[in-house]
Each structure stands twice: as structure tokens, then as C-alpha cells.
Structure 1
Amino acid sequence: MGKISRRGVVAGAVGAAAVLGGFREASARPFRAATTEEAPRPNILVILGDDLGWADLSCYGAPEIRTPRLDGLADGGVRFTDAYSAAAVCSPTRFALYTGRYPGRLPGGLEEPITLPNELHGIPPEHPTLASLLKQAGYTTAMFGKWHCGFLPWFSPTRSGWDTFFGNFGGALDYYSKMTARGRDLYEGEVPVESLDYYTDTIADRAAEFVRGATGGPWLLNVNFTAPHWPWEAPGDQAVSRDITQRLASGDQQALAHNDGGLLGTYREMVEAMDAGIGRILDALRESGQENDTCVLFSSDNGGERWSYQWPLTGAKGALHEGGIRVPNILRWPARIQPRQVSDAPVITQDWTATLLEIAEAPPAASHPLDGQSLVPYLLGGAGKPQHDLFWRTKSARALRRGQWKFLRQGAAPDGLYDLSADPRENANLTRHQPDLAAELSARWDEINAGLLPYA
């Protein structure tokens, strides 16, 4: 895939048109739940890709990448076209997913992302989380893969509600050696361990093993891949791994960023390896008889980076343009939700926290109110699309979406107002035509921001 053929470009354009056409069609019909009958509390499987772009799956229009297992997951449930990460980088989005709150509620959520151990930069063990609340409600909880919500000795998944953890604490690591600039980053619970297998496969296989063994009651499983985050290593790229590992050992702090490596073909193989691993987890669900009663959510922690396919969006990871925050989002729950649906409802990471807690009958903590809005009335109750403002901020940018409209202030650029239903590329600034709306959305952003911790 070092070259993109004309056929690939045409296929990508057709795919993107199908995606955009799909959400226009979806907006014209009500959402369809599978049944109004009661169903048992579901198992909950949450799968995150890392730096996966909005259109990096074939069901979202990728011209070359093939993701049959995620495409099948979408075919069995709902594909969301206007889903967002809570932030444009890794750590804050994970804070939002685990706490159900704006990242700026906690000091660690202000780090974009967390890079070094610090006693303030993490999810405090006493803070309620998706895992701790589900555990109180009788769920078994496990996490495999990337945590990135604080380092030992202060923070870890097993201190925040997960019974089982196998994975890495930081943001990136070599896929084979598991090395970072700070040393090896692979743990069983809080105990360092070694593994030289390809990390994507290891995460998937450990998750599938958990699913096969967890048949005694409801469970929460978080599967956090590092794919397709740099370094750019596909299955079989041990030589690349050895070079990066040697550079790390020699003190090269930029080795993992791998700015001198990668290819479109390598990226394709990384995404496809993740897709295959997800397939093994889904196979374990089916083979263990748990598929019907398991709610599966797939998303990404932010928009794509160097090699991502983002069309028709602009921007990438780190920015609040659509390419930095709009992400693929798939939900499947066969017992309750009909297959082959597409939704253009604007939803954001912390909405899923509220939704999963409600379907698990696990009340949120009154001491820590959720910022997300549960989608249960929309998904299961026949209600219309949720009507709520989506909010983002970085140290240099701010954004707010309300319905089809998005307010954006990026750096020193003039304020922008965009009609995303017609202009997903954010090229036509309508502030001059809609000054009152632009001012209203800006004021709403200020209102939300006033309740959050300020950046230092």
C-alpha cells in the first residue's frame, strides 16, 4: 500500500459518500430497539482503538484498509457517524470514559496527555469510576491494554475498580519489547512482567481468554489497544522493533514517536491486525454463548494521526477540528438493539459512561454527578436524538457543538461557526451570517468552562 491507486481513490470517494449518505438517511427515521421486553443486565465490552481516525475502517469509507470484523460488528448493531471523543488526545478522553465527567474536573485531565509520574496526574482511587460503580452493582471487572490515567505508585486500574489488569500504564510502547523512554512498561496488576509477543495480539488473546472464562455473571471488560498508535510496527516487524528499542536504550527520547518510519502499508496492517484481534474476542463471545447478552461498544480515544484516512474531515489528533475529535463509534447489543442501523446523533465519550451505567442498573455516585447524558431513552425507549451541547477545550482551543452547529476558536484564528450537516470540512465560516448564534454558543462554552479546573 505504499502507493494509492486510482481505483483506491475512487473506492474511498464512494465509501465516504456512502457514509455521509447513510447518516442523512438515518436522520429521517426513528431509532429501532430490538424489543421492548425486559432483558437481563448485559455483560459490557468496551473496546478502544488508539489514534484511530474517523474513516480508518472500511465501513466508514477507508479506501484500502479492510476491517471485516468491525464491519460485521457495525452490521449487527449501530454505526454512529457523528460520535466524538471527549478530547483530542489520549489521557483526557480516558478520564472522561472512566469517570463519566469532563476531563477538566480533575488535575490529571488537564494533562494532554500524561507523560510522567506525578501524584496529581491520575484518577484518584477514591473517585467513582465505571468499573467501581459496576463492581458495586455485582459486576466482575477487567482491563487489558493501555491505562494512561496515572502512574504507580499513586494510580492504577486495580485501585480504581478493575479486579484484573494486564497492560501498560503509559501512552505508547514498543509493540514487541514493551520498552519506553522510561523502561519496560508491562504489568500484571501492579507487578512488572515481560512479553516479546506482538502487543495487539497479546491484548486480544488475553481478552478472549477472559471472555471464555467469565460465564458466571455480568462482567465489564475494557480492551484498550495501543494500535494504531506509533511506533509504526506491524506484525512481523521485529527488525523495526529492535532498532527502536536500541535507540531508546541509548537515550533517544524521540525513538517511539518514529518520525523517520512508517508507511501507509504498515498502518493498514496495524489496523487490520487490531480488527483480527477483535474478531477473536467476538468469536469467544459467540462460542461461550454470551453474544446475545453482551453490549459491545467500539470507539477511539481521539482522531487519527500521520497515516489516518480522515476524508472528508479536516484536522487530526491534537486539534479540535473534526478530524481531531470525531471518531468511529459502533454499538451492538443483540438482545435489545436491531442490526444494520446508522445514526447521526451527536454523542461523546462521557455519554457512553452514563449509558452503560444505566443499562447495568448501576446508579452514579451522587457526590460526583455525571456530565454525560444517557442514551438509553434514544437507544431503547423510542425517544428522539439526544439534544445536548458537546464541549471541548485544550490549552489553545475551544469548541462546542449544538445540533448541526459547531463553534470553534483555534489559537489566534477568528471564531468559527460551521454547519456540519453541510460542511463537515469546516471551510465555510458562517459567523458573519449568524452572529447571534455564534455569540450564544461562545457564551455557553464559557458557562461550562467556568465550572472546570483552569489550566496552569
Structure 2
Amino acid sequence: MPSYEKSPLSRRAFTGAVGAGAAAAVGLPAAAEAREQPFRAAPRPSGRRPNILFILGDDLGWADLSSYGSPHIKTPNLDRLARQGVRFTDAYAGSATCSPTRFSLYTGRFPGRTEGGLAEPIADRSVGLEPTHPTLASLLRDAGYATALIGKWHAGYLPDYSPTRSGWDEFFGNFGGALEYYSKLGLGGEYDLYEGDAAYKDLRYYTRILTERASEYVRRDHGAKPWLLNLNFTTPHWPWIADGDKEESAEIVRRIKAGEKGALWHRDGGSVEKYTEMVQDLDRSVGEVFKALKKSGQERDTLVFFASDNGGERFSYNWPLSGNKASLQEGGIRVPTIVRWPARIDGGQVSHEPVFTPDWTATLLEIGGARPSPAYLLDGTSLAPYLLKGEELAERELFWRVRGERALRRGDWKYYRGKGGEDQLFDLASDQREQADLAAREPRLLAELKAAWEKTNKGLLPYPAA
């Protein structure tokens, strides 16, 4: 038997075999892991359709939460969410940068199926998410949901592109990929805080504003309608400005107004300590929204999802993964992911199933009772049968493509080609750090996975000339 046929080792089998020892190997607190149980669905009557609170952090690394192994960042609210729900260890973003992942979430499809998804990320007004394209919001709205997006949109600019043109009843937030947290100046020096399609002036710290808006939305009486809230924080994306850092804010604003290109990237600022402060502020902010949800009486019937839009940046803690944002190495695409739904899913569980962003779109559409047209191709697999009925997930392939890099995961095997052009093969069950290249040992498997990647790639749009 060829050696590759005895793998992929089932994640469920791997979990049962090594338990807390595996947690220690990847930097997780063994005591915390010991309290978690391998995921097992607890089938219950379906009841009402849930509200959906879908929260994204921005450039948050895989191990930036204490529940994922950070030794110095304390995230009690998100850790509590994990204890009350399911923590996914092998969950991935749809891409390695901001806007392509958002396209994969909004559409449930590979970013390369749409012109706007080819921008990595969107940086001008030439492309965006076409208003005629079905989205998670438009499909759920058609199924009877109230829909809102609060925070970072990053799927195109006015006048042609906007959440309110793509299925969200309400929008409050920023259109671009980044903004200065107090002045709300974006990458081009433009003011970028909007309510609907109109500029909205508020010069307080941005994370505070988004937290207030989200808390108000979940407390609101929506009548008999369930609701979808996409809450897209910009924290902890650069610039490295925490709540109260007004002098640093003023200096960045001065440089932006002086015409300095790239001032917002803050390449001469930040630190591990400042980044820690920002992540812990994100955790507190999420905790405030959770408190508002609980006080509203809707906690039991609300499905809460938390993840990052891609891997971590300069100051993230990604151990033991290699690579960061913009790379298809594990550190660029594997992200912390937590799901809680008290009415249907037991807490204190961990899942090692490989999943990625388009899966969650398909899952939420099924759970919400939305039925896309048969002609509408979803690239994700609904996880509802797995989460709610305990059905096994069939082995499948997760696909990624960015300029100069490619990756595909099947079971525990990952095919990867970086910018150097070398085809590599890794067994993630034993080598999450992607250091032991098994391409020469497993040429048949390498060829299979490469062919599978190329087959999917042929169905996608080509990148425009650089």
C-alpha cells in the first residue's frame, strides 16, 4: 500500500488518540483543552430560526486568543464564548487578505468567481461586489430576515457598490480596507464613516462606536423577524492606535494630510504591547455586545459566530504556524473560529474538521431557510448536518489562490506552492508548521492534489495583467 493511502488520519481519530497532549504540542493550555470534548451533535427539535450574529476581527492571528494558546493576550469574553460553544482548530479564511475573504463570505463562493474578488485587496473604485449578485444578506432577507452590516465592508466603494445595494437593509461603517481610528480618514485621505450611503460624523474611537451600534441593534425589537447582523470590526488592523492614543492619532492624521502615501500603514509604529492592548479591547467590545444580547432575552435563539478575516499581521502570535497575512501558509489563512447556539449546540466542545469561510455561508443559508436558485453555485459545504444532526463530513478539498501562491487541503494533506514556484506537500496532522516537505516521498499524491487544484482553478476568472 502506498504510504499516502494510510492517511489522511481522521481528525476525530487524532483528537481521541492524543487529547490534551496534542493541545500542549500546539501551545494550547492543556487544562483548558481537557475541559473540552470532541464535537458531538446533540439532535434537538428545530424550533425557531435563529438570529445570526456574525462577528469578524480584522487581521487577528490564529493564536491571538488565550483560548487558542496566546501566552500574553487575555481574552476572557471570547474564551467564555468558546466554553459555551464549539471551538474550531482547523478553520480557515476564504483567502489570505481582507476583501477576497469578505467576497467569499458575502457570496459563499471562491473570490476568483467575481471580478471584485480578484483584487487582493480592493484599493480603488474600479471594482466591487455587483449589486445583482446574490449574497448571504439578500438571500436571507428574501427568506424573511432583517439584515444589517456594521463596520468594515471592503467590497467596493460608492457610488456603485454598497451593502445597502447588496441585501443589507442597514449599513453603518466604513467602505475601505482601513481607517484611522479617531479621524476616520482612509487610505486615500478620504473621510470614511457612513450611515447608509451618507457620511456620518463621529470622531470618537471607532471600536467604541461600532460596539454601541451593534449593542443597540441586538437590543432592538425586530418584531417577528429573525435578524442577521454582520459585525465587522477593524480591530486589531493597523494603524496601531488603542483607545486613548490621541497623540499618535494626531501624528498619523498630520502625515496623511501632508500627502504622505502609506502613512496609515504605520510601518514605524506599533509593538507587541500595543497590539495586545488592541486585541484585549476587541475582546471587551465583543463582551459588551454579548451582554446586550443576553439582556435582550435573545441569547438562546441567536447563533453567534466569531472569526478573523485572514491570518495575523506584524505583531500577531501565530505559533506554531508559519506565515502571516497575504500568504497561503497556515499562518496566513488559518483563523480562530468559534460558534455558539445555545438552543441547538452543546458547549464545551472542540472540532478539528477542516472548514473555511464559504462553508459558513452555505451553513447559515440552510439554517435560515434560504434557498438559492439551483443555478447559483455555492463553493462551500453546509455544515448544518454535521453541527445539528451529527452527520459525518465527507472528505473534500479546500481551495485557495492568491497571486503567486496556491494551496489545497484534502484531509490532513496540504498541497502548497509559494512565490518561489516549488510544489510542496505537507501532512498537517504531524506538521502544522509546514517544515517537512513530503513531495519527494509522495509523488503520486502530490500529482493528485496539484491536478485537483488546477481543475478548480480552470473554472475561475484569470487575474488581470499586473
Q: Shorter-chain TM-score: which interval?
A: over 0.9
Residue 193 of structure 2 aligns with which residue? 186
Is the 8 Å Cα contact of residues 128 and 155 (structure 2) preserved in structure 1?
yes
Alignment match of 2:27 (pick from 17, 29, 34): 17
Query: Aligned in 2, Cα 1:175/1:424: closer, same or farther, shift over 3 Å?
Result: same
Identity %: 57
Is the 8 Å Cα contact of residues 378 and 386 (structure 1) preserved in structure 2?
no
Is the 8 Å Cα contact of residues 15 and 60 (structure 1) preserved in structure 2?
no
Residues of 2 paired with 1:449 and 1:24: CA distance? 41
For 1:16-75, what per-residue CA distance to the aligned partner results, in whole angstroms no more than 9, with x for missing partners?
A: 43369988998x95x323442122100001000000000000100111111111001111
Q: Residue 319 in 1 paired to residue 335 in 2?
A: no
Q: Residue 342 in 1 paired to residue 350 in 2?
A: yes
Alignment match of 1:197 (pick from 187, 204, 207): 204
Residues of 1 paired with 2:27 and 2:309: CA distance? 25
**SS at 1:366 equivalent:** coil
Query: Aligned in 2, Cα 1:39/1:452: closer, same or farther, shift over 3 Å?
Result: same
Q: Residue 417 in 1 paired to residue 425 in 2?
A: yes
Q: 1:194 Cα shift?
A: 1.2
Query: Aligned in 2, Cα 1:25/1:71: closer, same or farther, shift over 3 Å?
Result: closer
Residues of 2 paired with 1:413 and 1:143: CA distance? 39
Residue 72 of structure 2 aligns with which residue? 64
Residue 96 of structure 1 aligns with which residue? 104
**SS at 1:51 equivalent:** coil
Q: 1:251 Cα shift?
A: 0.5
Count of equivalent residues: 440
Residue 217 of structure 2 aligns with which residue? 210
Matches within 5 A, 1:346-425: 346-425=354-433
Query: Aligned in 2, Cα 1:14/1:388: closer, same or farther, shift over 3 Å?
Result: closer
Residues of 1 paired with 2:177 and 2:349: CA distance? 33
Q: 1:384 Cα shift?
A: 1.7
**SS at 1:408 equivalent:** strand
Q: 1:15 Cα shift?
A: 8.9
For 1:365-394, what per-residue CA distance to the aligned partner results, in whole angstroms no more than 9, with x for missing partners?
A: 333210100001111111123421000011
Q: 1:395 Cα shift?
A: 1.2
Query: Aligned in 2, Cα 1:362/1:314: closer, same or farther, shift over 3 Å?
Result: same
Q: Residue 134 in 1 paired to residue 140 in 2?
A: yes
Residues of 1 paired with 2:421 and 2:155: CA distance? 32
Residue 11 of structure 2 aligns with which residue? none
Give the TM-score of the pair, scaled to structure 2: 0.92
Matches within 5 A, 1:229-308: 229-308=237-316
Q: 1:215 Cα shift?
A: 4.1
Residue 123 of structure 1 aligns with which residue? 129
Letter aligned with residue 101 of structure 2: T
Is the 8 Å Cα contact of residues 24 and 344 (structure 1) preserved in structure 2?
no
Instruction: Give RMSD over aligned pairs.
Output: 1.7
For 1:386-435, what per-residue CA distance to the aligned partner results, in whole angstroms no more than 9, with x for missing partners?
A: 42100001110100000000000011242110000100000000011111
Residues of 1 paired with 2:296 and 2:328: CA distance? 41
Residues of 1 paired with 2:459 and 2:257: CA distance? 44
Residues of 2 paired with 1:410 and 1:24: CA distance? 36
Residue 170 of structure 2 aligns with which residue? 164
Residue 437 of structure 1 aligns with which residue? 445
Residues of 2 paired with 1:404 and 1:20: CA distance? 23
Query: Aligned in 2, Cα 1:35/1:50: closer, same or farther, shift over 3 Å?
Result: same
Unaligned runs of 5+ in 1: 1-12
Unaligned runs of 5+ in 2: 1-22
Letter aligned with residue 171 of structure 2: F
Residues of 2 paired with 1:270 and 1:152: CA distance? 29
